[in-house]
Amino acid sequence: MECMFLNKAIQKRVAACLVGAGVVLGTPVQLAIAQPANPVMHPAAKVVNPNAKDLGIQVTANDAMPNLMARSAILIEAKTGNILYERNKDARRFPASTTKIMTLIVALEKGNLDDMVTVGPNAVGVEGSSLYLEKGDKMPLRELLTGMMMQSGNDATVAVAEHIAGSVPAFAKMMTDKAREIGAVGTNFVNAHGLPDDNHYTTAHDLARITAYGYSLPEFESIVSVQDADYNWLRDPSKHITSENKLLWQYQGGNGVKTGYTERAGRCVVSAAKRDGVQLIAVVLDDPVMWTDAYAMLDYGFAHTRPSSFCKAGEEVTKIKVADAHIDEMALVAARDSVIGTLYDENPKLEKKIEVPDKISAPVKKGDVVGKAICYVDGMVVDRVDLLASQDAPYHTFWSDLTTWFTKLMKGLF
């Protein structure tokens, strides 16, 4: 809470009341006021951490952030995967509920967000964090996934897993297979919620890779960045939930993603923020002051990177020939912004290659996907942006004009 000192006149009135009640006022009276609902910057990164060595954490001489209390940590730029900071990034750790990041990814890729999910008996009463689902409850998959990420509902993960794969073990295999595909080879999942199991583990680097992949999916950010929601199927009479991820309103640009805690995992958070198009991901595992450290890492990242743009939404990228239309060619525009963060002292080679056909044939509607812009950093693909038709191009030839003219003539005669 923030505090303000009362002015002297009010202090005297308050003091008089307190003295009248038998209370001696020896220090200035303070009035607590509520924290702003959405402060511009966070308070936590301003806190001075104790020395990590007090907890027996080994800190190397070249550690750029020696006061971090995380046993494992990593900070990356999402599109390139470039590591901006790391500590024990490949050490095996228990992920706790950060597991649900992969649960969401698999559900997004294998499910339909408009599907209705029916909660089965296996989802009811799962230990730990809960949405208090009951057998027979029905809700859209999108809402269930959003509630799962906001409130860390372990019961929701079982309902999702059974809806997508028929069982939790089958779904967990899909999660592990996806991790391998992404390159997170130090990760193995045996459940969808993250409750402790010796065979359920990951690394800070793998979690960063998994999360970066998530941000490449169209619906991922829109789900992990929800602060408040109202759903009719919630048990709470208010039908309202608020995200447990306070970074969303405490940190400028905060847009994800997931907290976690078990006794074996310690306190964990995968946090993310975007500024000027630069998406950073910070992971801290087994960290008693996870919010302070997460904010400090993101601060460090934004202080050391600058945005480099490939294209902007709506910006013309190239032109293409159009057949059977009134126009001979049209502009193709970028569907969205594409920006990466590069270190101030580095100048990587940025390239953009256009993949479009030699020509397109009418009819074409404005917004149709016609091609892609492939974005490279030092020869590595970091982004693919759809190229859209900038205008309508209805079908048109001499014979179509003649047919139209003749049709109108006949209507006029008869």
CATH number assigned to the domain comprising residue 230: 3.40.710.10
409 within some domain = no
% of the chain beyond a pLDDT of 70: 84
Is 80 exceeded by the pLDDT of residue 30? no
CA 392 – CA 376 distance, rounded (Å): 31
Q: 172-176, 192-196, 342-346 — which is least confidently predicted? A: 342-346
Residue 45 lies in a domain: no
The verdict on 18 and 120 lying in the same domain is: no
Is residue 13 domain-resident?
yes
Candidates 258, 255, 254; CA nearest to 270 is 258
If pLDDT is split at 50, 70 and 90, which confidence band does 326 have? Answer: confident
Residue 44 has pLDDT above 60, yes or no: no
Indicate if 169 and 194 belong to the same structural domain: yes
User: Which residues are the active-site residues?
Assistant: 97, 100, 152
Tell me the C-alpha distance between 9 and 13, whole Å: 7
**Any domain includes 111:** yes
Residues 140 and 238 in one domain: yes
Residues 268 and 335 in one domain: no
Q: Tell me: pLDDT of 337 over 90.
A: yes
Same domain, 108 and 234: yes
How far is it, in rounded angstroms, from Cα 141 to Cα 160? 8
| Separation CA 384–CA 267 (nearest Å) | 35
pLDDT at 193: 98
Find the range with the poorest average confidence among 16-25, 97-106, 206-215, 232-241.
16-25
Structure pTM?
Answer: 0.83
Q: What is the pLDDT of residue 409?
A: 66
| 7 has a pLDDT exceeding 70 | no
Q: Determine whether 356 is exposed, middle or buried from the number of CB atoms within 10 Å of its CB (0-12, 13-18, 19+).
A: middle
Find the domain containing 359 and state its range.
312-389
d(CA 383, CA 371): 14
Q: Mean of the pLDDT values across residues 391-406?
A: 73
Question: Do 178 and 123 sit in the same domain of this protein?
Answer: yes
Instruction: Tell which of 305, 326, 357 closes a domain.
Output: 305
Cβ partners under 8 Å of residue 354, min gap 6: 317, 318, 371, 372, 373, 374, 387
pLDDT given at position 58: 83
User: Domain for residue 169, yes or no?
Assistant: yes
CA–CA separation, 201 vs 196, rounded Å?
Answer: 9
Which pLDDT band holds residue 20 (cuts at 50, 70, 90)? very low
Residue 365 has pLDDT above 70, yes or no: yes
Question: Do 299 and 166 share a domain, yes or no?
Answer: yes
Instruction: Tell me the one-letter amino acid at 88.
Output: N
pLDDT of the residue at 23: 38
User: What are the backbone dihedrals phi and psi of residue 231, each rounded to the nearest 5 degrees, phi first?
Assistant: -130, 135
Overall domain count for the chain: 3
Q: Are residues 268 and 323 in the same domain?
A: no
Residue 139 banded pLDDT, cuts 50, 70, 90: very high
* Strand pairing category for 359-361 and 316-323: parallel
Q: Could you tell me the pLDDT band of residue 22, with boundaries at 50, 70 and 90?
A: very low
Cβ(124)–Cβ(154) below 8 Å:
no
Residue 404 confidence (pLDDT): 63
The mean-pLDDT minimum among 36-50, 74-88, 270-284 falls in: 36-50
CA dist., res. 30 & res. 295, Å (int): 28
pLDDT of residue 399: 64
CB 185, CB 176: distance < 8 Å: no
Does 403 have pLDDT greater than 50? yes
Q: pLDDT band at 77, cuts 50/70/90? A: very high
Whether 107 is covered by a domain: the verdict is yes
| pLDDT-derived band at 12, boundaries 50, 70, 90 | very low
Asked whether residue 173 is domain-assigned, the answer is yes
